């Protein structure tokens, strides 16, 4: 992956940090802020995969499921 392709992804993910901090401090709890940030990141990634017409690899022999679980 090139730096020019990775940079917008990093900016999008880290731009949700203030949002998670705000949600955590408003009384809904720390876990809600973290979980909401992760779910929004997953939705963005799935939308990008669909837009780019990519397929996710689900082969158990390559360890893809374990990698997805760890991520």
Q: In the structure encoding, which two tokens stand for residue 24, read together? A: 């955590």
The answer to pTM > 0.75 is: no
The better pLDDT of the pair 21, 43 is held by 43
Three-class secondary structure assignment of the chain: CCHHHHHHHHHHHHCCHHHHHHHHHHHHCHHHHHHHHHHHHHHHHHHHHHHCCCCCCCCCCCCHHHHHHHC
pLDDT at 34: 76
Mean residue pLDDT of the chain comes to 76
């Amino acid at each position: 992956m090139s730096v020019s392709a990775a940079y917008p992804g990093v900016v999008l993910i880290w731009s949700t940090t203030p949002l998670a901090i705000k949600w955590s401090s408003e009384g809904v709890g720390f876990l809600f802020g973290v979980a909401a940030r992760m779910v929004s990141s997953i939705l963005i990634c799935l939308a990008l995969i669909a837009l780019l017409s990519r397929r996710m690899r689900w082969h158990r022999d390559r360890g893809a499921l374990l990698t997805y679980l760890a991520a």
